[in-house]
């Protein structure tokens, strides 16, 4: 399979054993996420979530985590720029103390501009839109949702969120749809 990540794969760190989890995350929500999803840790009961997962809406991904373990915000490309109120809510009211921001390989939000024709045709044919409105819709929103490159985007998005929520540890990760595992993005 051809990887869609350009120039970013060298910065992905696999997590295949407990010692691959950075010390700062051990026995913490981010460490537990890696244990549950990658290492098959047995589920424990949770009464409240301490982790927020930001991830793409893409249908190919499913987290292996216990009930009540995490809040999840799904948005194209794991782009939380337009979900900030929900992030604030999860922290302030929901009790979230760490954030895992998870991009993925072969993301549809990469090179969005190349999907212009299928986007417009699809809205016209499947949803009954006028072609002109569909074109305007795409031109207006595509630049807001284009992410360029999965690894670079999730890294810059994590940095942006750290500036907004300075007390919350935020770790960028990549979910490889090729093996369904999480990889840490090394910054």
Residue 78: CB minimum distance to Zn ion, A: 7
Q: Which stretch binds Zn ion (CB under 5 A): 39-47, 56-64, 158-166, 170-178?
A: 56-64
Q: Which lies closer to Zn ion via its Cβ, residue 107 or residue 182?
A: 107
Query: Of residues 58, 98, 152, 157, which one binds Zn ion by CB under 5 A?
Result: 58
Q: Which lies closer to Zn ion via its Cβ, residue 129 or residue 145?
A: 145
Residue 158: CB minimum distance to Zn ion, A: 16
CA dihedral 20, 24, 29, 33 (to 10 degrees): -10
In whole angstroms, give the CA distance from residue 60 to residue 93: 30
In whole angstroms, give the CA distance from residue 164 to residue 37: 27
Q: In what order do the strands lie in the sheet with 70-74?
A: 12-14, 181-185, 170-176, 98-104, 51-55, 70-74
Query: Which tokens is 37 given?
Result: 């999803």
Q: Which lies closer to Zn ion via its Cβ, residue 56 or residue 170?
A: 56
Radius of gyration of the chain (CA): 17
Binding mask 65-104 for Zn ion (x = CB under 5 A): ----------------------------------------
Site for Zn ion in 99-128 (CB under 5 A): 107
């Amino acid at each position: 399979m051809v990887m869609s990540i350009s120039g970013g794969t060298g910065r992905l760190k696999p997590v295949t054993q407990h010692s691959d989890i950075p010390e700062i995350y051990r026995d913490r929500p981010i460490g537990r996420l890696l244990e549950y999803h990658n290492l098959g840790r047995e589920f424990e009961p949770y009464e409240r979530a301490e982790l927020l997962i930001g991830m793409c809406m893409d249908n190919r991904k499913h987290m292996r985590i216990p009930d009540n373990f995490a809040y999840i915000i799904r948005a194209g490309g794991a782009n939380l720029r337009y979900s900030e109120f929900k992030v604030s809510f999860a922290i302030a009211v929901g009790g979230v103390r760490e954030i895992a921001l998870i991009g993925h390989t072969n993301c549809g939000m990469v090179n969005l501009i190349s999907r212009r024709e299928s986007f417009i045709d699809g809205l016209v044919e499947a949803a009954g839109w006028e072609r002109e409105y569909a074109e305007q819709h795409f031109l207006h929103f595509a630049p807001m949702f284009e992410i360029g490159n999965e690894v670079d985007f999730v890294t810059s998005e994590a940095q942006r969120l750290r500036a907004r929520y300075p007390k919350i540890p935020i770790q960028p990760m990549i979910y490889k749809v090729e093996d369904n595992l999480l990889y840490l993005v090394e910054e």
